[in-house]
């Protein structure tokens, strides 16, 4: 049972480039979410999904797109990377209340 799998673990982008952070879970969880973690800021919610085909914005959605075509996958897209998007990104999944399961994170640097 792999849990939540995020790829890649590390990425360096140039300003203006686009990329997709992948997230997959094998626990048949309804709910998935993306967070970014910056020093001194804790984790902040970017986007979330309550099921296939349903997504919504979190606290810091600007510059990011998501889609949820299947229950298992919830990719996060950066359309035009900016230095302000340098951060550690976490994907998580859950079935309501028990608490979220997290991927191992992606450290993204935009130069």
Partner 1 sequence: AQTVTQSQPEMSVQEAETVTLSCTYDTSENNYYLFWYKQPPSRQMILVIRQEAYKQQNATENRFSVNFQKAAKSFSLKISDSQLGDTAMYFCAFINSNSGYALNFGKGTSLLVTP
- CA–CA gap between residue 2 and residue 32 (Å, rounded): 16
Residue 18 φ/ψ region, left for φ over 0, alpha for ψ in the -120 to 50 degree band, beta for the rest: beta
Q: Single out the residue of 6, 13, 21, 33 in contact with partner 1 (rule: CB under 8 A).
A: 33
- Of 59-98, binders to partner 1 (CB under 8 A) are 88, 90, 92, 94, 96-98
Instruction: Give the DSSP letter of residue 84.
Output: G
Q: Single out the residue of 19, 27, 50, 52 in contact with partner 1 (rule: CB under 8 A).
A: 50
Q: How do 76-78 and 10-13 pair as beta strands? A: unpaired
- CA–CA gap between residue 4 and residue 7 (Å, rounded): 10
10 is an interface residue for partner 1 by CB under 8 A:
no
Q: Single out the residue of 41, 79, 82, 111 in contact with partner 1 (rule: CB under 8 A).
A: 41
5 is an interface residue for partner 1 by CB under 8 A:
no
104 is an interface residue for partner 1 by CB under 8 A:
yes
28 is an interface residue for partner 1 by CB under 8 A:
no
């Amino acid at each position: 049972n792999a849990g939540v799998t995020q790829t890649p673990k590390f990425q360096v982008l140039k300003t203006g480039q686009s990329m997709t952070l992948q997230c997959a879970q094998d626990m048949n969880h309804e709910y998935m979410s993306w967070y970014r973690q910056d020093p001194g800021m804790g984790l902040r919610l970017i986007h979330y999904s309550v099921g296939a085909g349903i997504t919504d914005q979190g606290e810091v959605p600007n510059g990011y797109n998501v889609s949820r075509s299947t229950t298992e996958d919830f990719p996060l897209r950066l359309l035009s990377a900016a230095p302000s998007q340098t951060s550690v990104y976490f994907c998580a999944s859950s079935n309501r209340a028990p608490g979220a399961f997290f991927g191992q994170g992606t450290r993204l640097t935009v130069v």
